[in-house]
Structure 1
């Protein structure tokens, strides 16, 4: 092996008694990394471990086809109900994780927005009380005919269509000339809310391209941690925070060989966001990310430090066990 073939960096290496994490083992992602030649492989399991992990998190083509077909058919049913005819390209589009390409397998739901004519908005504006709830209920009723065996309900900001294989969550919207949308929120008496899903999608697209596809991969891994630990962090919050992290991360373009550092350094970044506000792209809305999840991140950081330490020493099984404390059984222990 060429001495400078792998540039990984100097860990503060001391023996670990029991579960002790060496003081100072965590280094800022922005410190220089110096190669150390131990006369053989180092971090030998990292690339294959995280490659397999990533592949396992991706939705299959059949799952994509199923979700897309169901979403388009819902759009056709709505188009027929409100215009009398249905086209092959109904006015629906994917948002959320499906719109950003960050959906995690298995995907429990698919978020879509349906663009309505402003005449529908004007019709409901003439009504009293919770106009937003009434709109959602009308949409629910319009879908009950085409889907008589499917549970359909209005819930806050969405109409939920509970198919057997995946749930479709539909948000009715009205498009502004600037590309933003007005959507209903029936909570707390009802209100209209301006949203900009394409701004979030554009951010993810830009940073993922800049990071050689690593943004979406890391996002899926972090989402699995979030699912395993059942934190209060919303999916879109994690997507935006991973984008912010990767946009400024010095190693963002590297391959799977660096993913142990990706995970370790992102959790440190995430911990610093506790109690802060996130600015939503497009609308500029300040969203409070909360604090109740911070202790789970502290635990993830400790586990990641141990895992990185053992990866360096090529104790790949021990490292895999530490990763499973973060991600559960879907990240492999054995890579040989």
Structure 2
């Protein structure tokens, strides 16, 4: 390995190990989803609704469903799959949208399902906190579509009585796995690091936008097949590219819709790029304490803490990637 940049592999491998949710966090995340689903079932039973008996278990999506959640995360997302018989065609079909593959292309009305969806949709932005944790469970009502995917209650649309949106969790995972495959696993790594930056900086960018942007970036990044030795350049180049992605419409896998990246986070990305560029230069000269300070300003104090814990006895890391 090159004498230059000798600290880079160990630092980033330690930081990524630190970012992984703990087993206890995973347990709480899944437990929170189950607990809220049980409450919904009890409410349905109390009202004598037959939906309770045929309601499927929630489907965990988002970071915990895709393997991109980070330690001390603030939310777990899940779809509450409502049974098909809660969708009824006929009255008020003009008010509640309707054309979707779950109903064979007919205009449909969702009286029982929509009533439940509206009640949940009005709350799922805030979620419900799990016991002894600041993590929130966001349970979003959905209907399975015959052609695949789910009609998901869009908070703004559903509350207004309009159409729901199509979500394809399996295609989203496939899209992410393709980006991971062509980059030697860097997609999930970079998403997790970008989420740490988002949390540290307060950048108002959606986690799903980060995921889609990372996948697009890695499809073109020159060093995507290199190892941990190149992770300082990975971060630096990503933030440089990110500064030009404000207000972009990103295609959502399988849904036929787009997600706008927004604009309010650009100054945060520009600052992160300047810090990452300086840190990468310092890494080249093995100026350890100065580069650590820069990375900590990008990702938070956990970057420094992870390396300190590694040096105090965690298993040694394998430095990979070759010289540069």
Q: CA–CA distance in 1 between the matches of 2:123 and 2:233?
A: 39
Match of 1:96 among 59, 62, 65: 62
Report SS of the residue matched to 1:248: coil
Aligned to 1:43: 5
Is residue 82 of structure 2 the alignment partner of residue 116 of structure 1? yes
Deviation of the 1:286 alpha carbon: 2.4
Find the counterpart in structure 1 of residue 136 from structure 2: 167
CA change 1:63–1:302 in 2 (3 A) is: same
| Residue 291 (structure 1) aligned to one of 245, 251, 263 | 263
CA distance in 2, matches of 1:135, 1:159: 21
Distance change (3 Å), C-alpha of 1:84 and 1:279: closer
Could you tell me the TM-score, scaled by structure 2's length? 0.77
SS at match of 2:245: coil
Q: Deviations over 1:157-216 (max 9, x none)?
A: 668333222321111111111212212235262322222222212211222233232211
Query: What secondary structure, in the 3-state scheme, does the structure 1 residue paired with 2:262 have?
Result: coil
Q: Is the 8 A contact 2:61 2:79 kept in 1?
A: yes
Alignment of 1:1-336 (within 5 A): 5-6=1-2, 41-78=3-40, 81=44, 83=50, 90-122=56-88, 126=92, 135=113, 138=116, 154-155=121-122, 160-164=127-131, 165=133, 166-187=135-156, 189-191=160-162, 192-332=164-304
Q: Is the contact made by 2:193 and 2:299 (CA closer than 8 Å) also made in structure 1?
A: yes
Contact conserved, 1:94 with 1:113, CA < 8 A, in 2? yes
Superposition RMSD on alpha carbons, in Å?
A: 3.0
SS across alignment from 1:284: coil
Query: What secondary structure is seen at the aligned counterpart in 2 of 1:178?
Result: coil
Q: Which runs of 5+ in 2 are unaligned?
A: 97-108, 312-324
Return the index of the structure with the highest Cα Rg.
1
Deviation larger for 67-76 or 214-223: 67-76
Q: Name whichever of 256-265 and 304-313 sits farther off.
A: 256-265
**1-side partners of 2:32 and 2:147: how far apart?**
29
Relative to structure 1, the CA distance from residue 268 to residue 95 in structure 2 (aligned partners, 3 Å threshold; closer, same or farther) is same
What is the TM-score of this pair, normalised by structure 1?
0.75
Distance change in 2, residues 1:238/1:321 (3 Å): same
For the residues of structure 1 that align with 2:266 and 2:81, how far apart are their CA atoms?
38
Task: Give the number of equivalent residue pairs.
Answer: 286
Q: Which residue of 2 aligns with 1:23?
A: none
Secondary structure of the residue aligned to 1:332 is: helix
